[in-house]
Amino acid sequence: MQFKCNQTLPERAIHIALKGPDGKCQRGDGTGCFIANNVATTPGDMTERGCTYAGCRGVVGGPVKDAIQLTHGPIGCAFFSWGYRPHLADSDFHMKYTFVSDMNETNIVFGGEKKLLQSIIEASAEFPDAKAVFVYNTCSTALIGDDGRDVAKQAEAIIGKPVVFFECEGFRGVSQSMGHHVGNETIFRQLVGSIEPEGDFSRSINIIGDYNIKNDIRTFEYLFEALGLQIIARFTGNVSVDDLKIMHKAALNIVHCQRSATYIADMMKEKYGTPSINVTLWGIRNMAQALRAAAAFFGLETRAEEVIAHEVTRIQPYIDAYRQRLHGKRVFIYQGGPRVWHWIELLRELGMETETAATTFGHTDDYEKIFNQIPEGALVIDNPNVPEIEEILNRRRPDLFISGNKERYLAYKLGVPFVNGHTYDTGPYAGFVGMVNFARDIDKALHAPVWNILHQRARPAPATHHAAHGF
Ligand code: CFM
């Protein structure tokens, strides 16, 4: 069994695989080797990947709500990393403003250090309430050799608050995934542990790897709090600089996105001995399991069962109703990375099966988790480009495509029901109550009246005298 995309470069065959009858990976180049991932994009391939800067500024650093988010580079880098991802907080400073040193041609020729220093001083004077300045390096300023670390030190002495310099120049890694890593390391090195608060933190946790997309945290924070746990920091949805400084006090790290944020949990384990558990906060079984694992750590098992029972009783009638309408549908999920494997179980709880899976920047551990869960014959593709996605939608005809805004109109044009899994058109989708929203949006997409019109059109015309003669 082999699958080749016709509209693709021959080198891409190693990024395409089927799950064989023996449960093993069968790659598009005919070998049984595992799907190629986290490697440089094939030259000539119009990849949808982001850069290291995008992963650092857009994903990990950007949600910090009271830091000035300053890009050291051209205006375009700042503009295109601003405002697209709805990582919400209880204040909107981080979403409302973006800052940039605005490097132009002259600065590239003569160096941009002075301009960067000036930008930090100006921005911090303009917004005195900000708790820190986050400076993100870009390709252009890295290539000319600006010493941003030194400028950050000088600026810190002048403005009297942390200036955190992220060495996240775009070309540094093969995708945004490297930017997550740089973001984790830099925040850990420069902020975590810089304050030693007094108090009892024996029942405290950090929630690591949630970014509060469309208020996801509202669906699960109250559940951990209902167990009697105190949440110190979120990494990094709805987080403040001060929370990050004391996150080393937590008794347990709860790690949700295991692509973008395991790094900081690992560093905390090494330096402070903080234990961590990996969880999925989407879907009924996974959310319940996350609460049980957290409760088991603190000896709060009985309370966890009460909380779970209460929540499941609330949502079960809705889930049952949706399952009847969604049962048997075949899904194509394409996300950045872990959401693909986080959602396979959730979709099964709604009666649906994932038959095609793709990630933009998943690593081997993500693909292993995907392969373990998908059924035999399912297709997996790493870092697909638009012609490949188009071919998959046409040839495999999934009932539903869960993907992002970049693919939305392609799906609509090809007549495939679509749900936005990155930024959620409605949301939130996490936790127990979020799952009802997710099911509702899937149902709306699948049963939109427009499909009836399309299907009527697609029906072959009744045979007439003329038609029979080829008119
Ligand atoms: Fe983690 Fe994310 Fe994701 Fe991610 Fe992203 Fe995202 Fe995503 Mo879009 S941090 S890896 S870099 S779960 S922005 S909130 S939805 S691609 S699968």
pLDDT tens for each residue of 275-310: 999 999 999 999 999 999 999 999 999 999 999 999
Beta bridge partners of 455: none
Q: Is the CB of 336 under 6 A from ligand 1?
A: yes
Strands of the sheet with 204-210, listed across from one edge: 230-236, 204-210, 252-255, 276-278
Cα 399 to its chain centre, rounded Å, is 23
Atom of ligand 1 nearest to the CA of 423: 15
| Buried/exposed code over 116-133 (b: 16+ C-beta within 10 A; e: otherwise) | bbebbeebbeeeeebbbb
Res. 1: pLDDT tops 60: no
Residue of 234, 236, 238, 259 to test ligand 1 pocket, by largest number of atoms within 8 Å of CB: 259
DSSP strands (E only) in 83-193:
99-100, 132-137, 163-166
Atom of ligand 1 nearest to the CA of 421: 15
CB neighbours of 280 closer than 8 A, spacing ≥ 6? 256, 286, 287, 289, 290, 342, 345
- 455: CA distance to ligand 1 center in Å? 34
Range scoring the smallest mean pLDDT among 68-82, 165-179, 187-201, 450-464: 450-464
- 184: CA distance to ligand 1 center in Å? 15
Q: Is the CB of 257 under 6 A from ligand 1?
A: yes
State which amino acid sits at residue 278. N
- 179: CA distance to ligand 1 center in Å? 12
DSSP symbol at 308? H
Res. 221: pLDDT tops 60: yes
Radius of gyration for the alpha carbons in the chain, expressed in angstroms and rounded:
24
DSSP helix/strand/coil, 17: strand
Q: Is the CB of 50 under 6 A from ligand 1?
A: no
Q: Is the CB of 215 under 6 A from ligand 1?
A: no
User: What pLDDT, on a 0 to 100 scale, did the predictor assign at position 98?
Assistant: 98
State which amino acid sits at residue 316. Q
Q: How confident is the model at residue 2 (pLDDT cuts 50, 70, 90)?
A: low
pTM of the model: 0.95
Catalytic positions are 51, 54, 85, 180
Q: Is the CB of 398 under 6 A from ligand 1?
A: no
Q: What percent of the chain has pLDDT over 70?
A: 96
Token representation of residue 190: 């420069």
Atom of ligand 1 nearest to the CA of 404: 8
- 421: CA distance to ligand 1 center in Å? 9
> How many other CB atoms are there within 10 angstroms of residue 244's CB atom?
30
User: What pLDDT, on a 0 to 100 scale, did the predictor assign at position 464?
Assistant: 45
CB 254 within 8 A of CB 232: no
Residue of 56, 260, 429 to test ligand 1 pocket, by largest number of atoms within 8 Å of CB: 260
Residue-averaged pLDDT of the chain: 95
User: Is the bond preceding residue 262 a cis peptide, omega within 30 degrees?
Assistant: no
- 375: CA distance to ligand 1 center in Å? 24
> Can you tell me the ipTM of this complex?
0.95
Q: Is the CB of 338 under 6 A from ligand 1?
A: yes
Burial of 247 (0-12, 13-18, 19+ CB in 10 A): buried
Q: What percent of the chain has pLDDT over 90?
A: 92
- 63: CA distance to ligand 1 center in Å? 13
Q: Which residue has the tokens 């100006």?
A: 122
User: What pLDDT, on a 0 to 100 scale, did the predictor assign at position 466?
Assistant: 39
Measure the CA–CA gap between 315 and 313, rounded to whole angstroms.
Answer: 6
- Give residue-wise pLDDT tens across range 372-403: 999 999 999 999 999 999 999 999 999 999 99
Measure the CA–CA gap between 403 and 390, rounded to whole angstroms.
Answer: 13
Res. 337: pLDDT tops 70: yes
Res. 463: pLDDT tops 60: no
Q: Cα 440–427–205 angle (5° rounding)?
A: 125
